[in-house]
Amino acid sequence: MATDAHSGSPDLPTDEPVHVEGTDHLDEIVAEHDVVLVDFYADWCGPCKMLEPVIEALAEETEAVMAKVDVDRYQQLAGAYGVRGVPTLVLFADGEQVEQQTGVLPADRLRNLIEEYTNE
């Protein structure tokens, strides 16, 4: 099902995180996919680096799309989502923001959160 659900964007890999290239790009990703987890991160952030392998694993293991937003590069986008600290994770389901968490969350907690929305 994952490949069918994502067939509208053949250039968008769903088994690895997608680096967001601005507001319009994020809006497209959210509109085209049922469940999207957005990781607002910074290259200098130690906790963000700890979270990176978790995000990569979730991209492979779940049906959700993992999207990454560099807060230094896209400050206005981060501001639009009220990001005050990194990492901040924002979960979208059916085009709507349903969760927002700041800080590193354990992989199993993130997986359960995603599965709440992908297994409906």
What's 29-42 look like in SS3? HHHHCCEEEEEEEC
Among this protein's residues, is 60 annotated catalytic?
no
User: Given 45, 54, 65, 90, which residue is catalytic?
Assistant: 45
User: Given 26, 48, 67, 89, which residue is catalytic?
Assistant: 48
Among this protein's residues, is 48 annotated catalytic?
yes
CA 33, CA 63: separation in Å to the nearest integer? 9
**Residues designated as active site:** 45, 48
